[in-house]
A and B are shown apart, each in its own frame.
Chain A
């Protein structure tokens, strides 16, 4: 299993900052980039995540064992797909119409957002997680393994080894992973689903996933697939 020491985060918004804080607290070296110049985010990183390194996208990718995409979905194509070649990439993004605008332009209605991201970064391995819990819950609900109040995160991807590596990473970040070896299953956590915005225990999260077809969102997805 790939050993992760260096975590790279593309995106220094609310989610990127929280994930950087968690990764730093978990003992990883953290590099983070924003949409502007390094100088532009330096003050933010220095104040909110002291100990993390503000970098360029290139430097984040070159120096990290795992990359987290924490930018608005509408901007992932601003990143050259070759930049992430051969990298293990966590997709923490969602199609969020409030910031991403009209659906078809951002997300093909016939696919899920992570599958679309995987198609674009076709030389990278994409695993979806950190996408369904609110950023303040991510920050406040992280707990040591075994804590009775620990919450869970859904981890989905097509590559078994990659999913296992990310699941272990999620565990070190303070959450129980609930694993599905199918990237398209990420749909079960997208906006509109019962999991989006929820912070649940492993058992409660599994329960929703196991009964996904019975949820309102699940019924709608099933109907639109027929």
Chain B
């Protein structure tokens, strides 16, 4: 049974470069400032979370999400401030703790850590790591991170991390410790690992139907039980675009999501997105595209299907204009979220 009052709704951006009305592109700096404005807008609309991604590529503006979140913190009151995701494998767990503890203080307890192995891998060579250590890096750093967030002196030695002897980390947080999510892409091993640590899980559904994750939710619950850990509410994030008019929404999303997907595909080896593929994703798959009613119906279905506690919409894929992004956020906050809650309440 879904508790509608406890449901959370988030927005996430990967920091795509924003377009001007004439089709030219804004600078990275302009794009970053646009995100701060959007965070403020989302807060005003009562949206629960704003998540900012970490990328180290020319098509994205944010490589240091916590700085952007710090700026958003200073102009907002309630919204939670998350990364989407922090690539822990190529980061230093001590620094990760320090940055989020700082954000936690700055925002009076609104920081939210979202850790992942990262579906992009540019950060590995950039920070001197070898991709062949992909799994080992994440496992070791997650273990270290889990010790650090206890906020007690830590003694530690590892293969990829610094050796610490009874070392304290600062600043200490004022609240109940750092809220931590692990972003996962659907590997069973990742689900079990998240359950084992007792962290919250956010599943990135970026292709295909949400239906195939039904058994994965079950796996998380069974794994948590096996490790005697609490079963936390499950979160999902997926891409989407909302406009007042259905056809306009589809047109903007097709142009931008395709461009974004194809550009990434060029470096990662997959074929360009076909219209058939896009239409499949928007009808029954992982793209939440359309007018507010359409998107609300689809989000409500996914929440119900998977028994979610939180749904995050990834916005801004490709080079959308500031007006398109802001209108989408307004519609999400003022129309889609209330409508999703209404649909889910009616269903009971």
Contact = CB atoms under 8 A, between A and B. Distances in A.
Contacts of A47: 215, 218-219, 222
A74 B222 contact: no
User: For chain B, what secondary structure do more than half of its interface residues adopt (helix, strand, loop), or is it mixed?
Assistant: helix
Given A99-B131, A198-B274, A43 B268 contact: no
Given A43-B222, A47-B222, A98-B121, A137 B269 contact: no
Contacts of A48: 188, 215-216, 219
User: Interface centre among A13, A17, A136, A196, by most B CB within 10 Å?
Assistant: A136
B207 A98 contact: no
A43 B188 CA distance: 10
Contact of B212 (A96, A140, A193, A197): A140
A34 to B, nearest CB: 8
Contacts of A96: 269
B187 interface: yes
A44 interface: yes
Interface string A80-112: 000000000000000011111110010000000
A13 B187 contact: yes
Interface in A108-159: 134, 136-137, 139-140
B218 A136 contact: no
Nearest to A45: B188
Contacts of B269: 96-97, 190-193, 196-197
A141 B223 CA distance: 29
User: Interface centre among B187, B208, B223, by most A CB within 10 Å?
Assistant: B208
A201 to B, nearest CB: 10
Nearest to A194: B271
B277 interface: yes
**What bracket does the count of chain A residues touching chain B fall in?**
20 to 34
Contacts, number: 74
A222 interface: no
A191 B132 contact: no
A77 B265 CA distance: 28
Nearest to B188: A44
A29 interface: no
Nearest to A47: B219
B208 A17 contact: no
B155 interface: no
A44 B132 contact: no
B270 interface: yes
Contacts of B131: 97-102
A98 B132 CA distance: 9
A17 to B, nearest CB: 7
A43 B270 contact: no
B192 interface: yes
B132 A134 contact: no
A19 to B, nearest CB: 14
B226 interface: yes
Given A47-B222, A99-B131, A191 B121 contact: no
A199 interface: yes
A197 B188 contact: no
Contacts of B278: none
A195 B271 contact: yes
A43 B212 contact: no
B84 to A, nearest CB: 19
A139 B208 contact: yes
B212 A191 contact: no
A219 interface: no
A12 interface: yes
Contact of A44 (B134, B192, B277): B192
B130 interface: yes
Contact of B208 (A100, A102, A105, A140): A140
A12 B188 contact: yes
A41 B186 CA distance: 15
B161 interface: no
Given A13-B189, A44-B188, A48-B216, 10 more contacts: A13-B187, A13-B188, A44-B192, A47-B222, A99-B131, A134-B270, A136-B207, A136-B212, A139-B212, A140-B212
Interface of A: 12-14, 17, 41, 43-44, 47-48, 74, 96-102, 105, 134, 136-137, 139-140, 190-199
Which 7 A-B pairs rank lowest in CB-CB distance, beginning with the nearest? A191-B269, A136-B208, A197-B270, A101-B132, A44-B188, A101-B131, A47-B219
